[in-house]
């Protein structure tokens, strides 16, 4: 899984860039939304903040008066640090849960939109890091226009964060959003190409499919070479390359959790020691194509399976199933 970091200054255009990612099917975890949830009435974060800042920051309905709390923390660095310290554990675990949900769905690339990515030292978990930059004049104008605030209030908010010029020195990719929305979209299409580059081995390894391969394939325990070959072929399969003739996989034997079976596929006969494995585990059916460099014994048997043909009639199909036992 590739976790892309998206950050910038207040009102530099992170949400606008996030929306472009979403429009291209890449999910975004928005730290501002997570931060809002952990400050809802009755949550752990809410309780800590009320104890530290007092009931004065509450509305009649018990929710936090966000503009009021904003006024306090954006003009007082000590109070801001206190609020950050109180909420940081809730925000980071909230982000982790969102990432985990996307991991479970099998997402390969996700974007973390975190305004305080560097300040909260979350940048170490993300690669590449994208900084949305604007010149200070444009940033101030856009912030005042969007939030309807005075120049002083807007400047307080801008100064509450690490400077955008420093952030851009820490970036892998800088998006200059000083121009029009059209300019932004044009630049974004180049960024998208970089973000969608094929996953590295490490990124694949921490993705759901990669982790399951390493975690449950009994052959994997026998050495890195085997699962690396498997991953290679899965990646190729995703790119639609060599295994186009394979049929949907169904095991010819019933597999229990953790057990495995193999069926030699007609389309891959050229891989002399290749086979499909299917795994029935509680949530997923995992199919892998493995190429084994060594085998110590193998047994072959004929199996037949009832299948519907194109006219909808049931007929028996025969399969040659080969078990390959590794040393």
Helices and strands in the chain, H and E counts: 12, 10
Q: Which of 1, 4, 58, 87 is in the footprint of ligand COD by CB under 6 A?
A: 87
What single-letter DSSP state applies at residue 65? -
Under rule CB under 6 A, residue 73 binds ligand COD: yes
Give least dist CB 253 to ligand COD, A: 50
Cα dihedral 195, 200, 205, 210 in deg (nearest 10): 80
Under rule CB under 6 A, residue 132 binds ligand COD: no
> d(Cα 183, Cα 173) in Å, to the nearest integer?
16
Under rule CB under 6 A, residue 29 binds ligand COD: no
Give least dist CB 168 to ligand COD, A: 16
Angle formed at CA 321 by CA 317 and CA 327, multiple of 5 degrees: 170
The entry of ligand COD, ligand ATP, none that residue 181 binds, CB within 5 to 8 Å by partner kind:
ligand ATP
Cα dihedral 56, 61, 63, 68 in deg (nearest 10): -40
**Site mask, ligand COD, residues 95-124, x = CB under 6 A?**
-------------------xxx--------
Q: Which of 4, 6, 10, 17 is in the footprint of ligand COD by CB under 6 A?
A: 10
Estimate to the nearest angstrom the gap between the alpha carbon of 293 and the chain centroid.
Answer: 33
Q: Which is nearer to ligand COD, 3 or 213 (CB)?
A: 3
Give least dist CB 131 to ligand ATP, A: 11
Phi/psi at 177 (nearest 5 deg)? -105, 30
Q: Which is nearer to ligand ATP, 115 or 274 (CB)?
A: 115
Q: Which is nearer to ligand ATP, 1 or 184 (CB)?
A: 184
Size of the residue set binding ligand COD (CB under 6 A): 21
> d(Cα 154, Cα 81) in Å, to the nearest integer?
19
The entry of ligand COD, ligand ATP, none that residue 13 binds, CB within 5 to 8 Å by partner kind:
ligand ATP
Closest CA to 249 of 212, 282, 278: 278
Under rule CB under 6 A, residue 176 binds ligand COD: no
Nearest residue (beta carbon) to ligand ATP: 15
Q: Which of 5, 13, 70, 210 is in the footprint of ligand COD by CB under 6 A?
A: 70
Phi/psi at 277 (nearest 5 deg)? -120, 140
* Cross-strand pairs, 120: none
Give least dist CB 119 to ligand ATP, A: 13
Beta-strand (E) ranges in the chain? Answer: 2-8, 28-30, 109-113, 129-133, 173-176, 261-263, 274-280, 285-291, 297-308, 314-325
What single-letter DSSP state applies at residue 199? P
Max CA separation in the chain (angstroms)? 80
Angle formed at CA 94 by CA 194 and CA 25, multiple of 5 degrees: 35
Window contacting ligand COD (CB under 6 A); options: 153-161, 194-202, 235-243, 311-319: 153-161
The entry of ligand COD, ligand ATP, none that residue 40 binds, CB within 5 to 8 Å by partner kind:
none
* Cross-strand pairs, 58: 64
The entry of ligand ATP, ligand COD, none that residue 92 binds, CB within 5 to 8 Å by partner kind:
none
Q: Which residues bind ligand COD (CB under 6 A)?
A: 10, 31-32, 35, 39, 66-67, 69-70, 73, 80, 83-84, 87, 91, 114-116, 157, 160-161
């Amino acid at each position: 899984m590739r976790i892309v970091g998206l950050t910038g200054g207040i009102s530099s255009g992170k949400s606008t860039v996030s929306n472009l990612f979403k429009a291209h099917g890449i999910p975004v975890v928005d730290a501002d939304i997570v931060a809002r949830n952990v400050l809802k009435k009755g949550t752990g974060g809410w309780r800590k903040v009320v104890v530290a800042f007092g009931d004065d920051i509450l509305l009649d309905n018990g929710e936090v008066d966000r503009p009021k709390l904003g006024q306090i923390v954006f003009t007082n660095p000590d109070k801001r640090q206190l609020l950050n310290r109180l909420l940081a554990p809730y925000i980071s675990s909230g982000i982790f849960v969102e990432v985990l949900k996307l991991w479970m769905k099998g997402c390969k690339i996700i974007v973390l939109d975190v305004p305080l990515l560097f300040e909260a030292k979350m940048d170490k978990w993300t690669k590449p890091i994208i900084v949305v930059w604007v010149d200070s004049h444009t940033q101030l104008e856009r912030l005042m226009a969007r939030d309807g605030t005075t120049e002083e209030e807007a400047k307080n908010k801008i100064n509450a964060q690490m400077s955008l010029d420093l952030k851009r020195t820490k970036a892998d990719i800088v998006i200059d959003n000083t121009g029009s929305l059209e300019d932004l979209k044009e630049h974004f299409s180049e960024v998208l190409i970089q973000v969608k580059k094929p996953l590295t081995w490490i990124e694949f390894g921490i993705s759901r499919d990669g982790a399951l391969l390493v975690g449950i394939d009994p052959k994997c325990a026998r050495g890195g070479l085997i699962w690396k070959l498997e991953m290679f072929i899965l990646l190729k399969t995703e790119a639609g390359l060599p295994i186009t003739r394979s049929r949907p996989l169904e095991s010819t034997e019933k597999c229990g959790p953790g057990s495995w079976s193999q069926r030699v596929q007609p389309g891959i006969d050229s891989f002399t020691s290749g086979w499909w494995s299917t795994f029935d585990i509680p949530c997923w059916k995992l199919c892998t194509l493995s190429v084994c460099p060594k085998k110590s014994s193998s047994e072959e048997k004929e199996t037949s399976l009832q299948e519907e043909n194109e006219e909808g009639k049931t007929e028996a199909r025969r399969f040659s199933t080969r078990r390959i036992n590794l040393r």
